[in-house]
Structure 1
């Protein structure tokens, strides 16, 4: 069973946030890590006060870097594309 450094865990969990917004299942497939492991890391990060996907925070409660990442990701989108993006991301 491989051990992951805290830096590696944080980097992987960051992929679950904007702008990538990967699902746990998708990230698990990409990285070859079990979903159970990723869910455990997410739970641990949340307990430590980190913003994690699935914690049902409203966009007003997001940290500045997450808001800025969404702004950068959507800057070049048309109104139709922006609407689709918002629906897809649950915004």
Structure 2
């Protein structure tokens, strides 16, 4: 008897459930799992609350596309029907938008870039000042140890 990991089970069951709703035979052929096993897994998944079910990437994209033209009330009703929170749907929409953004859109504005450069320069100057102070302190410590090694009577002072 073959054993399948939970990740694989979730992935296969997500194909069987809405919004993809693939047929048992097709998924069984693709995954190489018997139809009876898939029926059992689907039954177990349907017995769990809808919020605990896994969504595939294609399913999330379909959900975003389907709800894009709906107003807020209709989208909320759709989410309730499919066991989603509207915030999850919005997060998926934002992820899709980010993934499709042009590289130029993701760049910072020029004034943000200037402010960042100025802040970096200030931090680098402060770091250099602190490094110099640390080096001076280390040199004074080494010199005081050498002095106490050469003149042990001055060590108590």
Tell me the CA shift for residue 34 of structure 1. 0.4
Partner of 1:22: 22
Which SS does the other structure have where 2:16 is aligned? coil
Hey, what's the Cα distance between the residues in 2 that align with 1:48 and 1:20?
Answer: 18
Assess if the C-alpha contact under 8 Å between 2:16 and 2:42 holds in 1.
no
When Rg is computed on C-alpha atoms for both structures, the one with the higher figure is: 2
Partner of 1:9: 9
Structure 2 gaps, min length 5: 54-77, 94-157
Aligned residues: 62
Higher RCO (C-alpha under 8 Å, 6+ residues apart): 1
Tell me the CA shift for residue 46 of structure 1. 1.7
RMSD: 2.9
Tell me the CA shift for residue 25 of structure 1. 1.1
Hey, what's the Cα distance between the residues in 2 that align with 1:4 and 1:32?
Answer: 11
Hey, what's the Cα distance between the residues in 2 that align with 1:40 and 1:25?
Answer: 14
Tell me the CA shift for residue 17 of structure 1. 3.3
Hey, what's the Cα distance between the residues in 1 that align with 2:82 and 2:18?
Answer: 10
Partner of 2:81: 61
Give every structure 1 segment of 4 or more consecutive aligned residues whose post-TM-superposition deviation is greater than 3 Å: 17-20
Tell me the CA shift for residue 22 of structure 1. 1.1
More helix by share: 2
